Chain A
Amino acid sequence: MNDKVTLMKGNEALAMAMIRYGAVCTSTSSPGFSLMQEGVSYLAASEVPALLINVQRGGPGLGTIHASQADYFQACKGGGHGDYHMIVLAPSSVQEMADMVALGFDLAFKYRCVSMILADGTIGQLMEKVVLPEQRPRRTDDEIRQQCPWAVNGRKGMRPSNVVTSLELDDDKMEENNWRFQACYREIEKNETRCELIDTEDCDYLITAFGTTARVAMKTMELARAEGIKVGMFRPITLWPFPEKQLREAAKNVKGILCVELNAGQMVEDVKLAVECKMPVEHYGRFGGNVPTPDELLNVLKEKLINK
């Protein structure tokens, strides 16, 4: 068995066909990820673990090569066909992005599902200190046979044959398959939501943001607190499963929530659902590769929630 294989494929759809064989990581930016949606759906249906990385650029179409968070819906609500979910990890620093590689693989193998890192053009080009996690050796041939008994690598010892397929024409069996996928997603929702809460204990207003916008909003929090406005931050680290309970808890006593994204309003839908619209939830978005400044966000906070 080859230890490490890095291949450059002719296009993203082909790369995904290779990933289907547990190849098992590929990275791209938004237009390429659109091409991969067929493969994502097949991976989910075949229960093959994989890690995908989308460093988002601004769309729709070719759009711009600069940062965006407009692929939230595609990542969290399913861009391919059928009922499936991916575990979506949203890094807001280089260190977090490096750590998420191991985390993403572990989760994918634990649940036999697809996990993805949803970064953006700014995080992707950021230069900051990073401590690389220790490299783990690849599974040996025997370990693969033990830990991945479903793997298609020859019937050693004439074990029953393995077939990786997404096709099932018996309706009852296909329904059963879907129930199995859904049970797995409920399990992931129960165990794997991750988020960061900053100064939420005493806050009057909450900013929700992920990735690059969360980094900007952290500075906004500081500026606000210097003016005596108590602002806290809720940063989902898993976008799916969305940390609903944690958000509901953190938002219990706030007067309003500002959701900041580099899109026209995508995560804000999950924020509203999580808090059941019990308080005002406002959205502020920038597009086209533009990223808001901390002052800009402070002004928006005042305009939309405080001085209303």
Chain B
Amino acid sequence: MELNDIIKPENKVYAEPKLLNRVHMHYCPGCSHGVVHKLVAQVIEEMGVAEKTVGVSPVGCAVFAYNYIDVDWEEAPHGRATALATAVKRLWPENLVFTYQGDGDFSAIGTCESIHACNRGENIVIIFINNAIYGMTGGQMAPTTLLGQKTATCPYGRRPDLNGYPLAITPLLAQLDGTCYVTRQSVHTPANVRKAKAALKKAFENSINCKGTSVVEIVSACNTGWKLTPEKANKWMEENMFAKYPLGDLKDLKDGIQR
């Protein structure tokens, strides 16, 4: 068999997503952000909705998401992404509108607008990258930081008496009448990557079909902030993060929220 006999469209199992720009990413090797970017680009491309997609990028390591995924973007002030996405979606109801936010952005400085956007049932998708740390600014404690986890601002480990408890915001959002789909995924194994991709697709369809707010939390690795190798970071995530942030769907209203 010749090489040309193998390279045929019907044999294709994987191709580089066309919406992923051919530039160097600034993400650390081993970081989950890059994988999620690829999935977002793939899903938008496969759904054929690039022409009517608007992303809202956060302040955090993903601040430059607009350099990597070739759709229209708005850059939000720190924490304000869901407010901005609300405006975009209300003005262009047929668009796919998503935010892409870290745990600091979404569940610390942005908690207020995060909760209210979900409670209003805005027809947007929130991609929530929970790596239990402020990656961008050098690894400070986030609301999501686990008890005992060491960060730059809790060098001896997070203590509940001093720093309170890890915030699992997704279950709170699942309780709100405005959310139609709330799920927790990860991208640390090929199987999980496939599941996360399916979740993103479902969420994106919800936005286009105006079914309510979809929240896709991705429990993620920040190997640099955690000061671990990429491999050890994935292991640490499995052993520690999943207990507090278990994977799976928290809510899935097939027909969308009640209006």
**Which residue numbers of A lie inside 8 Å of B, CB to CB?**
8, 10-12, 31, 61-62
Q: Could you tell me the distance between the alpha carbons of A61 and B140 in the complex, rounded to whole angstroms? A: 23
Write out the residue numbers on chain A whose beta carbons fall within 8 Å of the beta carbon of B141.
8
Indicate which residue in B75, B108, B140, B163 contacts A11 across the interface (CB closer than 8 Å): B108
Write out the residue numbers on chain A whose beta carbons fall within 8 Å of the beta carbon of B78.
11, 31
> Is there an interface contact between B79 and A11, defined as CB atoms closer than 8 Å?
yes
> Is there an interface contact between B108 and A10, defined as CB atoms closer than 8 Å?
yes
> Is there an interface contact between A8 and B163, defined as CB atoms closer than 8 Å?
yes
- Chain B residue nearest in CB terms to A12: B109
Write out the residue numbers on chain B whose beta carbons fall within 8 Å of the beta carbon of A62.
59, 63, 75, 77
The 7 closest A-B pairs by CB, nearest first: A11-B109, A10-B108, A8-B153, A8-B141, A10-B109, A10-B111, A11-B108
- Chain A residue nearest in CB terms to B167: A10
Interface residues of B in 135-167 (CB under 8 A from A): 140-141, 143, 153, 163
Given contacts A62-B59, A62-B63, contact A10 B77 (CB under 8 A): no
Q: Could you tell me the distance between the alpha carbons of A65 and B143 in the complex, rounded to whole angstroms? A: 24
Write out the residue numbers on chain A whose beta carbons fall within 8 Å of the beta carbon of B143.
10
Write out the residue numbers on chain B whose beta carbons fall within 8 Å of the beta carbon of A31.
77-78
- Chain A residue nearest in CB terms to B79: A11
Interface residues of B in 89-115 (CB under 8 A from A): 108-109, 111
Other A-B contacts than A11-B109, A31-B78, 18 sampled, CB-CB below 8 A, are A8-B140, A8-B141, A8-B153, A8-B163, A10-B108, A10-B109, A10-B111, A10-B143, A11-B78, A11-B79, A11-B108, A12-B109, A31-B77, A61-B77, A62-B59, A62-B63, A62-B75, A62-B77
Write out the residue numbers on chain A whose beta carbons fall within 8 Å of the beta carbon of B111.
10
Quote the shortest CB–CB distance from A304 to chain B (angstroms). 37
Write out the residue numbers on chain A whose beta carbons fall within 8 Å of the beta carbon of B140.
8
Q: Could you tell me the distance between the alpha carbons of A163 and B111 in the complex, rounded to whole angstroms? A: 30
Q: Could you tell me the distance between the alpha carbons of A62 and B140 in the complex, rounded to whole angstroms? A: 20
Instruction: List 20 A–B pairs whose Cβ atoms lie within 8 Å, in order of A's numbering.
Output: A8-B140, A8-B141, A8-B153, A8-B163, A10-B108, A10-B109, A10-B111, A10-B143, A11-B78, A11-B79, A11-B108, A11-B109, A12-B109, A31-B77, A31-B78, A61-B77, A62-B59, A62-B63, A62-B75, A62-B77
Quote the shortest CB–CB distance from A26 to chain B (angstroms). 14
Quote the shortest CB–CB distance from A183 to chain B (angstroms). 38
Quote the shortest CB–CB distance from A9 to chain B (angstroms). 9
Write out the residue numbers on chain B whose beta carbons fall within 8 Å of the beta carbon of A61.
77
Q: Could you tell me the distance between the alpha carbons of A8 and B163 in the complex, rounded to whole angstroms? A: 8
Quote the shortest CB–CB distance from B186 to chain A (angstroms). 25
Write out the residue numbers on chain B whose beta carbons fall within 8 Å of the beta carbon of A11.
78-79, 108-109
Quote the shortest CB–CB distance from B130 to chain A (angstroms). 15
Q: Could you tell me the distance between the alpha carbons of A33 and B109 in the complex, rounded to whole angstroms? A: 14
Q: In this complex, which of B63, B109, B140, B163 has the most chain A Cβ atoms within 10 angstroms of its Cβ?
A: B109
Write out the residue numbers on chain B whose beta carbons fall within 8 Å of the beta carbon of A12.
109
Quote the shortest CB–CB distance from B35 to chain A (angstroms). 25
Quote the shortest CB–CB distance from A62 to chain B (angstroms). 7
Q: Could you tell me the distance between the alpha carbons of A10 and B104 in the complex, rounded to whole angstroms? A: 8
Q: Could you tell me the distance between the alpha carbons of A61 and B63 in the complex, rounded to whole angstroms? A: 13
- Chain B residue nearest in CB terms to A10: B108
Q: Could you tell me the distance between the alpha carbons of A187 and B19 in the complex, rounded to whole angstroms? A: 62
